[in-house]
Structure formats: C-alpha cells, structure tokens
Chains A and B, each alone.
Chain A
C-alpha cells in the first residue's frame, strides 16, 4: 500500500474541489465565487491528468469531455444554485449528460431508460412540487445550505475513495484485487450461454453486444433473481402507496 502523501495526484484535486464547492454553496451574505470557480477549474484539470479516456479518436474524446464535464459542472451548479427550479433543471442536465456517457459506452437502452425515468418523470415531479410549494419565493432557510462544511467533507471523502479505487484498479496488479474479500481461488465458472453476445456477422465479427435482445437475455439470464426481486419490491411499494393514499367519501379525485 502506498502511504498517503504519495497519492497527492488524487488528494490535491479532491481537496481543491471540496474547497470550491464549500465556497460556492449558498449561504448568508456574499459568496467568493471567483475564487471558488478558480479552485474548481484547477481541481478539474488536476483530475484530468490522472483519469482521462484512453481512446484516441477526437470525436469520441470531444463527446466524452462534453458529457463528462457537463455532468460535473451541472452537478456543482445543482447544489450551489439558490433557485430550486434552476437546481431541478441542472439535475435534469446532469441526467442527460450521464446518459450521453452511457451512449458512448455502448449502452443505448440504459441511456434511453434513464432519460425516460429520471429526466422525463422524476425531475418533472420535482419541478411540479417546487412550482406548487414555492409560489411566494423561497424562504430564508432555503437560501442557504444546511451544514455546508460537513456535507462537503463527507461528499469529497467518498469521491476521493472512489477515485483512489478506480486509479488502483486501473494500475492493475496487486492493488487491483478486492481489498476486503477473502482471497480464495475462485473456481472457474462456465459462462452462461444465454447471456453471451451472439455473433451476427461471421466476417466482420459483429456481435449483438449492447443491443436490446442481448440486454433482454442478460436481464433474464444472469440477473433473473435481481430483476424478480426488484419487481417484487416495486409491487410492495405500489401496494403500500395504495394503502396509504387517503380515501375520500366520494370515491373520486
């Protein structure tokens, strides 16, 4: 294991980012937004020196920076914006940028489903609630962040841990092994033939990886138990919602 100071490539950008977010979080009085955004930019450039896409295609690279940078910037804007409507819209942008990253990684169905569920339904519900709740303008306690110091520290500790793990697994070797699992030799598992990508074209080696049918086979092959479990949880939630909903005398809305 490396001692902490050797990890400065990760620690410095994470600390700078934390500083930036802490300075930009809404509070009473003036925010030091120039210094904050400068710190944030330096942190982003610093992170870029360690994690960057390995592909060497200018179009793909450009799209990656567009979506990745868009997601990070919109995320910061979402938590630092004072106006809740704008915060909800920044959240929608975060979702859309993430969906762009999914598309770049050959997961079109995941990206479309995320757009439908998050940007198209959940954020719309948020906006709906905000429009109903904030008609007279935001209250003072809504204009400043609650516990900005604690929130920033906790968030960026987690982020730093994730960055470190990604960096370690990228380097491979001894570091890439799972740290907290017993190191037993895992028996060779025969892959499930149902979930293997099928070859569509023998000559070009084209497979149906990432297409809808391969996702379907994977969901109902490898992940059948998880899918059924999620379905049951949703069913229970639906029953609970119906049970909790108030009954009116007229039986109408």
Chain B
C-alpha cells in the first residue's frame, strides 16, 4: 500500500486498469452492436459461440491474432504499418484526461483519471484527437490503392472541418464553468445538483458537440471514409488481421471517449439526484457514470441504423453552414448572458430560440437551391 503512494506507480496502475477496461469494453460493445443491429433489422445476430453468442468477441479476437498477416506488394511498408499503431495511440492518449469516476488528488487514492489536475483538459483531448487523422491519411496513402486514397482524402477534409464546431461548442461550457479542466467541470455540475447540469444551459452546444464528435470518430452517418458501397472498405481496404483490428479498436476507443466526454461535460458526469450525490460512495458514482456512458454508446449504435449516410457536399455544408455559425451564435448568447448578468435559466429559452431560428432558416434556404439545380443551364456546367 505504501508503494501505491508513489505517483508513478499509481499512474501505472490506473493506465493498466483503463487499458484493460477499454479493451474488454470494446470487444463486448462490438457484440452489443451486432446484437442491436440484428434486433433493429429483425435478424438473430451472433448466436453460435457460447450462450447468446457471448463468447463471440473472444472468438473474433482469436481469429484476428491467428489470421494470416497479409502485407500487399507495392505498399509503403513503414507508413503502412505505422498507420494502425497511430490510430490506437492517439485515441488511447486522448483518454488520459477523461475522468471515469470521482477524481481524487490525494496520494495513495485511486485517482480515477490517468493524468489528474491537467488544467488544459478538453483542449488536450482536441489536440491529441486532431492527430488521429494521420492514421487514416497515412493508412490510405500507403496502401497504394485508389479506394483507400479516396477514403483518406475524404477523411482529411472531414476531420479538419469538424474540429472547428467541436472546439467552439465547448467554449460556452468553459465560460459558464470558468475552466477547461474536465474534472473541474464535472465537480462544478455535481455541486450545483440536478439543475446544474450543463445540458440545461447549453442544449444546442451539447447537440453540436455530439454531432461533431461523431463526425470526428468516422462513425455512421459520417463514415464517408470507409463507406462500403462506394469505396470497398475505404482507408482500411488493404488491411487484414491484427492491423485491421487496431484500426477498429482505435475507432471504438474514440466512441467510448466521446461518450465519456458527452456525459461528463453536459450530463453531470457521475452526478444523479438521490442516487449519486457529492457525498456518495465511489462505486455508486462510477456505476452512474458508466451507465450514462453506456446509454450514449447505445444511442450512437442505434443512430447507425436510423440515419442514412450523408452525401459529401451535405457533410461539408452541415459543418460550415450550420454547425459553425450555430456554435458562434451560441457563444455570443452565453457571453451576453454573462456580461449583462442575466439569470442563467435564460440560456435555455435563448438556446431553444436559436435552434428554432436555425431550423427555420434551413427550410427557407434550401428552396431556391433546389430550383437552381433543376434549371436546364446546370447540365452544361460539368463539361463532360
């Protein structure tokens, strides 16, 4: 026990716990996703290995390890092998500042976050997350395959565009809570109680954050980098066995991280009225937080079979014409409320008004565009 007071050893223990937890969670979340997909499409899903297919993730893992490790000819071998590693490293690194329980700074206590007391917090997550695009770009380029290259070209445009609304959506939170540190934002909400959850004051920001983060993780409906119908497998067409598994693991870790961030930044983290208040024991807090995260992950998985994939111009239009102006206006609203010292509950109707206005503008704005494309002159614009 005395050994655990050494911060280095404690950090090692925390990293081991997080790594084991994430790897285990990933494999069973994939099982859950397959079961959910089957349920939504009226199929059975995995049901051969073990009861209800519960041993399927272990069988999958064994297959990934034992399968022949193909490296195609004419690939840039160094970059080809580096890309899946980068994918895993960057997404795992982003988890370092995400609290997964009641954060404690006392030596000897389990800290419930790998790097406690990082003042940057959410900015660090964005910085590391912005590096994740290298994995996709390099993987697609090094594969020496046109489909892969197309997938990675799409990825670079998509990820760079969605970083902007993602970063701007949390500015309002930072202004309201006077910090960017994830653990401090969590504590601030927990101390205010149920009415202090950020989602009551920043519903539009929560929506923007969730959408942009989903786009950053390349999940459906934003999976233009790997859409099977157009690009075979996109950037990972040429990857097999464990190398593909690492890409997949990186993507799923990203999903877990954004679910944690959404619940911590907007839904009060481990706080829930009556069940987990500030003085509650740690296992209740961890349980509540994990349940919230699981709910968000299930929501992401259900979205996969609910919303069809975007067209590329719709994707760019959503980021640049809708999310970024909306996030900017949201920040302006927060600044006005803080500057004129209005009561905070004004933020809810103001956000709802913003959302309604944006919806109204989008229905009005799309009409003339449609008539333009239908015009006969448009047919000559292509030149082939």
Contact residues of A with B, CB < 8 Å? Answer: 85, 89, 92, 108-109, 111-113, 115-116, 119-121, 124-125, 127-128, 131-132, 211-213, 248-253
Contact = CB atoms under 8 A, between A and B. Distances in A.
A113 to B, nearest CB: 8
A120 B123 contact: no
A121 B160 contact: yes
Contacts of A250: 372-373, 378, 381
A207 to B, nearest CB: 12
B381 A131 contact: no
Contact of B123 (A112, A124, A252): A112
Contact of A249 (B138, B149, B378): B378
Contact of A252 (B137, B180, B313): B313
Contact of B126 (A116, A212, A248): A116
Contacts of A127: 137, 141, 156
Contacts, number: 87
B335 interface: no
A112 B126 contact: yes
A85 B141 contact: yes
In the A-B complex, the 9 residue pairs with the smallest Cβ-Cβ separation, listed nearest first, are A120-B130, A112-B127, A115-B127, A253-B313, A249-B381, A112-B123, A128-B156, A211-B119, A250-B378
Contacts of B298: none
Given A121-B130, A248-B381, A116 B163 contact: yes
B373 A252 contact: yes
A119 B124 CA distance: 13
Given A115-B127, A250-B378, 10 more contacts: A85-B141, A108-B118, A112-B124, A120-B130, A120-B131, A120-B133, A127-B137, A128-B153, A128-B156, A252-B313
Given A249-B378, A250-B372, A250-B373, A213 B178 contact: yes
Nearest to B118: A108
A111 B153 CA distance: 27
Interface in B141-156: 141, 149, 152-153, 156
Interface in B291-338: 312-313, 316
Contacts of B126: 112, 116
12 contacts: A109-B120, A112-B120, A119-B131, A120-B160, A124-B156, A131-B137, A131-B152, A212-B119, A213-B179, A249-B372, A251-B373, A252-B369
A124 B134 contact: yes
